[in-house]
Amino acid sequence: MTATTPHPVSSRYRDPEFTTLPRTNLTVELQLAHRSVRAFLDAPVGDEELTTLVAAAQSASTSSNLQAWSVIAVRDPARRDRLATLAGDQDFIRRAPLFLVWLADLGRAARLAASQRASLDATRYLESTILGFVDASLAAQNAVLAAESLGLGTVFVGAIRDAPDAVAAELHLPDRVFATFGLAVGVPDPAESAGVKPRLPQQVVLHREVYDDSDDSLIGDYDTRLAQYNAEHSRSAGWITPVLKRLADRDSLKGRDRLRDHLRAQGLPSQ
């Protein structure tokens, strides 16, 4: 950072009182510059990059070293098209040269248990399902940071859970394996109107020793800052209204209110 170049934390918070960090380095600055990318150039993401992303993903923490996740790399245009349709018809999935589907994978342990004639009753419980989701999430975030360090852009796709049975059939998922979310990967199109989206003030999310909601009053200022950011990119919304709309009722979940049924169908009853 030079004296005339603003620190990335300025864009991350858009708070005139929070413009520098007391400790920083290139890794932190890369993290602060993260943004979702939904427009990609017509450029491939090769096996060299894919190998690096998976190595970074496998370097993430994993509960009890169970490594209860897997990832499916989807490049076939026809399959990406079908997955895009299932995930809310989001066209950027079709346009991204690489679509990664991250899996909570207890199937590998189940196959191992079958070969060893061992019990695997713990996979019936919610804790094991959560474990798989957490492991997959940690791995994927590592992959995102690695991708951005290579000049690639990404965006997570939670809508892969809108039609989980159809996604499972499309990807030939075995018992005890569930598609948690997708990740579109590609070379960012510089013409895309997007930037570093401001986040909530630290005082709202950082609690010291015990939970303390006394700084919730700061959310109003954040709502204004986010609305200003969105206006710069031809969108009209703050934070409060979309959050409440997204969590208003079961219809806002777009079918994900039946997630427990889909998990049970995949051999994860999550009792």
Question: Rounded to 5 degrees, what are φ and ψ at 51?
Answer: -60, -40
What pLDDT digit, counting tens, does each position of 219-230 carry? 999 999 999 999
What pLDDT digit, counting tens, does each position of 29-53 carry? 999 999 999 999 999 999 999 999 9
What pLDDT digit, counting tens, does each position of 247-269 carry? 999 999 999 999 999 999 999 99
What pLDDT digit, counting tens, does each position of 184-200 carry? 999 999 999 999 999 99
Which pLDDT score is estimated for 1?
52
pTM: 0.95
Domain ranges of the chain: 35-189
| 135: Cα separation from own chain's centroid | 12
What pLDDT digit, counting tens, does each position of 119-155 carry? 999 999 999 999 999 999 999 999 999 999 999 999 9
What CATH number has the domain spanning 35-189?
3.40.109.10
